[in-house]
Structure 1
Amino acid sequence: MSKIVLNAELRSELGKGASRRLRREDKVPAILYGAGKEAVSLTLVHDKVIQAQENEAFYSQILELKVGGESVDVLVKAMQRHAFKPKVTHIDFLRVNASETLTTTVPVHYLNEETSVAISEGAIIHHHATEIEVSCLPKDIPEFIAVDVAQLANGESIHLSHITLPEGVISTALARGEEHDLVLVSAAMERGSLVADDEADAPAADAADEAPTEE
């Protein structure tokens, strides 16, 4: 998959007032830091950021940031948004060192859900996680983590420890101990459907109670 590329400009005006002026001009203030280098303040075009962040990879994969004729590999470490407008108000970019392990979040894709055992049993599948935090070298960052739910049945769940991560990729949660073995997905019957079944059986039972008996 090709890298997402963003163009940025260095900015010298700092502070809340300068940031507000930039936002009125449809620009996004940002900061670039990490890899043992000095942090620098940047400006990006808001429309380009909005377009790029529609791609799932924007939040977990290495991006190419072009600044003053130089290309820098980065990860998005934080993004601030307007409280109610569809606006990005600030981005933190982390420089990536190809030889250093990093931590990032990777999206989870659930496979074979519609044909799973749980669905055939009339159960509902519940997603408890949309992303997983992993640790690995930049070259090993997976595009996504696939979780196959084909054999998931009613009353069962799939935990983080049940899936196999790509080579070189470690779950940071599991690295902290077994108590962090998160439930990723589970299947259960809807409570309403059970009540409905009980009520459906009730008239027949009532009729049997009321039927005359022979003496």
Structure 2
Amino acid sequence: MYFGETTCQKYVLQAQLRELQGKGASRRLRKENLVPAIIYGATQDAKSITLRHNEMVRNLQDEAFYSQIITVDFGDHQERAILRDLQRHPSKPVVMHVDLQRISDDQEIRVHVALHFINEEISKGVKEQGAGISHVVSEVEVSCLPKNLPEYIEVDMVEMEKGQILHLSDLKLPEGVTLPALALGEDHDSAVASCH
């Protein structure tokens, strides 16, 4: 089991500063196919911005977008950030608001990263012992410097046997990546998958 390589996919969002605030202004922006957003952190003031709705929706279809570093392009300069919060319309395919957190190269970030389970069908438990595999979680929170951020965690299930439970502590982490939950003690060494 190991973490996937850091991603080579580059995510860029075109952004503009936003001066008008409030529900009315936000409603007008959405009619213009723009999404109200905020970017904050890294010892700088928070900025109200707008993003292109179509560009946002297209990126959201990619699983890695939720956990990877995003370049926010203002035209005259760029800032790097991660997606922190996303509000969607309850019944329409519309993004209502986006929160982005700036990152800096020398500060660790905490991000939820997807799990990719592989070799389930050829695992000992499934192939030889007639068991099934259940996924308990589909993502885990990691802590690392931006340069070490993995795109996903690959979990090789080939050795799983009937009755076995895979925990967070069983995951092999690359250099510079930790699981904050494990620092809280054994009670937080949650199950990741089970073979039953």
State the distance in 1 between where 2:35 and 2:130 align. Answer: 47
Identify the match of residue 170 of structure 1 among 169, 178, 183. 178
Identify the match of residue 27 of structure 2 among 7, 13, 20. 20
Identify the match of residue 69 of structure 2 among 58, 62, 65. 62
State the distance in 2 between where 1:84 and 1:166 align. Answer: 40
C-alpha deviation, 1:45, in angstroms: 1.2
**Is residue 140 of structure 1 aligned with residue 136 of structure 2?**
no
C-alpha deviation, 1:90, in angstroms: 0.8
Aligned residue in 1 for 2:43: 36
Q: So what's the TM-score if we normalise by structure 1?
A: 0.84
State the distance in 2 between where 1:44 and 1:68 align. Answer: 13
Query: Secondary structure of the residue that 2:125 maps to in structure 1?
Result: helix
| Gap runs ≥5 in structure 1 | 189-215
C-alpha deviation, 1:26, in angstroms: 2.0
Bigger share in helix = 1
| Gap runs ≥5 in structure 2 | 1-7
What aligned pairs does 1:149-164 form with structure 2 within 5 A after superposition?
A: 149-164=157-172
State whether residues 10 and 68 of structure 1, in contact with CA within 8 Å, keep that contact through their aligned partners in structure 2.
Answer: no
Identify the match of residue 114 of structure 1 among 97, 118, 121. 121
Q: So what's the TM-score if we normalise by structure 2?
A: 0.92
C-alpha deviation, 1:146, in angstroms: 1.4
Q: Deviations over 1:151-206 (max 9, x none)?
A: 11222110001111111101011011110001000111xxxxxxxxxxxxxxxxxx
State the distance in 1 between where 2:170 and 2:126 align. Answer: 20
State the distance in 1 between where 2:113 and 2:144 align. Answer: 11
Query: Secondary structure of the residue that 1:170 maps to in structure 2?
Result: coil
Query: Equivalent pairs: percent with the same residue?
Result: 45
C-alpha deviation, 1:82, in angstroms: 1.1
C-alpha deviation, 1:116, in angstroms: 1.1
State the distance in 2 between where 1:136 and 1:169 align. Answer: 5
Query: Secondary structure of the residue that 2:104 maps to in structure 1?
Result: coil
Q: Deviations over 1:101-127 (max 9, x none)?
A: 111111111111121122213222111
Matched letter for residue 175 of structure 1 = A
Query: Secondary structure of the residue that 1:155 maps to in structure 2?
Result: coil
Query: Secondary structure of the residue that 1:146 maps to in structure 2?
Result: strand
Aligned residue in 1 for 2:189: 181
Q: Which aligned segments of 4 or more residues in structure 1 are displaced greater than 2 angstroms?
A: none
Query: Secondary structure of the residue that 2:51 maps to in structure 1?
Result: strand
Matched letter for residue 52 of structure 2 = V
Matched letter for residue 188 of structure 2 = H
State the distance in 1 between where 2:71 and 2:113 align. Answer: 18
Q: Which has the larger radius of gyration?
A: 1
Q: Deviations over 1:23-48 (max 9, x none)?
A: 22221110000011111011111111
